Chains A and B, each alone.
Chain A
């Protein structure tokens, strides 16, 4: 699909609430590519992403009758999807769960940062198959609270406000988590691309 994120509300809430299966099918058809992408980015495993996708819509189907419309339908769906994906994360590897980052404002930003300008690497290096696998892993290695924020904002393209609604946290909190997630991703990619630059020189 060409859109950056799930399309804005264009479904009949009354029909959805009444259990109209054709309307629900339209809803699933429109939103499932984005929900699958979110699940795959959080879980980095196609089978787990499929399970999370199915669970999301099963749950949405059961809960839609009581949807109150305080957030948009899409944001509500993202909230369910994030929770399902996180449940799957905990099943996936309970023993090696990446701990959440503490929420305090004063981060360690700036300490031991990689200063390598890899932006000039050719496109084929930046998005090679190996680089893509590395990016998938780097996202999956983010602590859960940073990963969900990063995926909603930078993968799905939700606004800060929508991300805050989907995660039920403050906008300030979204911004703090987003900055940390982006800095961590920048560090990971910098290490990876710095090696590619070294190889290029060798």
Chain B
């Protein structure tokens, strides 16, 4: 179809698309393309999943108690009592 969105055009806007930052009409255009292009579907899904997994695994990174303690010692500031020590 003439004027149809190309895979390359979709790729260029992929980040904004998965972040939900595109205008509604453009999203609809992308979705029409996705309905017919299996490769782009895979790229969109795996990109979304990539961001999700990185976010998920990053949330679990805690500041170890020992590093917290040494930080306050190095700055010579009073160390507040921690309500929920994380290890």
Contact = CB atoms under 8 A, between A and B. Distances in A.
A126 B46 CA distance: 12
A182 B47 CA distance: 7
Interface of B: 7-8, 11-12, 14-16, 21, 39, 42-43, 45-47, 49-51, 53-59, 61-64, 67-68, 70-72, 74-80, 82, 86
A183 B77 CA distance: 42
A33 interface: yes
11 contacts: A22-B77, A25-B80, A28-B75, A46-B64, A53-B67, A61-B75, A116-B42, A127-B53, A127-B56, A179-B14, A182-B50
Interface stretch (A67-75, A77-85, A184-192): A184-192
Contacts of B42: 115-117
Interface size class of A (residues with CB under 8 A): 35 or more
A26 B82 CA distance: 11
A154 B72 contact: no
Nearest to B67: A50
Given A28-B72, A126-B53, A155-B55, 15 more contacts: A1-B62, A4-B59, A32-B68, A53-B71, A57-B75, A58-B75, A109-B12, A110-B8, A127-B53, A150-B54, A157-B55, A179-B15, A186-B43, A186-B50, A189-B50
